Amino acid sequence: MRNKAYISLGSNIGNRVEYLHEAVRMLDGQEKIKLVSISSIYETDPVGYVEQDPFLNIVLEVRTSLSPLDLLHVCQSVENELGRKRVIRWGPRTIDLDILLYNHENIESEKLNIPHPRIEERAFVMIPLLEIAPTIQLPNKSMPLIESNEFLQGKEGVR
Ligand SMILES: Nc1nc2nc(S)n(CCO)c2c(=O)[nH]1
């Protein structure tokens, strides 16, 4: 399995830890996906639609022989299996899986944008990602994320 991908998982309804564990078990159970690393679980305030409960977030590193689109389909089937109902866009969800990175590829399509467009604005993504991949560098960037991201450098808002 020569492809490396990073996946962000979040849950803010019900037994959040169990939903995360079950989603990880389902991903790792796929023959074409191998779990390599899993971050700590972070409790995070909701961003986007803020009238909802806090999330638990993790980031995984996986190896896979699946194409980005097929990996997306697997993530979507895990969401459906665990009862994700898109009642309110950006609203509460039992489980949410977002593909953050796939090798060093840039993918822009209707169904899939990689790197995930909001990686650099979301501490709930960057902190667990950097925990498991401290030297990660986003495609088309000349520096590692930890150096290039203003948010992480504490410069955000300082002009
Ligand atoms: N803290 C936090 N806020 C979020 N807002 C949305 S939408 N989501 C779902 C992922 O896009 C989250 C999340 O996973 N964590």
124-139 pLDDT, tens digit each: 999 999 999 999 999 9
Question: SS3 for 74?
Answer: helix
| Whole-number pLDDT of residue 152 | 83
The pLDDT-based confidence of 156 (bands split at 50, 70, 90) is: low
pLDDT beyond 80 at 88: no
Q: How high does pLDDT run on average in the chain?
A: 92
| Paired strand residues for 35 | 62
The answer to whether 84 is a known catalytic residue is yes
- Ligand 1 lined by 79 (C-beta under 6 Å): no
- Ligand 1 lined by 151 (C-beta under 6 Å): no
Distances in Å between the alpha carbon of 14 and those of 58, 75, 81, 95, 111? 16, 20, 15, 10, 28
Query: Could you tell me which residues come within 8 angstroms of residue 88 by beta carbon, excluding any fewer than 6 positions away?
Result: 49
pTM: 0.93
pLDDT digits (tens, 9 = 90+) for 55-77: 999 999 999 999 999 999 999 99
- Ligand 1 lined by 90 (C-beta under 6 Å): yes
Out of 90, 118, 125, 126, mutate this one to test ligand 1's pocket (max ligand atoms within 8 Å of CB): namely 90
Between CA 17 and CA 63 the distance in angstroms is: 23
| Whole-number pLDDT of residue 159 | 43
- Ligand 1 lined by 55 (C-beta under 6 Å): yes
The residue length of the chain stands at 159
Residue 141 CB-density burial (10 A; 0-12 exposed, 13-18 middle, 19+ buried): middle
Catalytic residue among 2, 28, 63, 84: 84
pLDDT digits (tens, 9 = 90+) for 97-109: 999 999 999 999 9
Instruction: Tell me the CA–centroid distance for residue 5 and ligand 1, in Å.
Output: 19
- Ligand 1 lined by 41 (C-beta under 6 Å): no
CA angle at residue 34 from 144 to 81, to 5 degrees?
Answer: 105
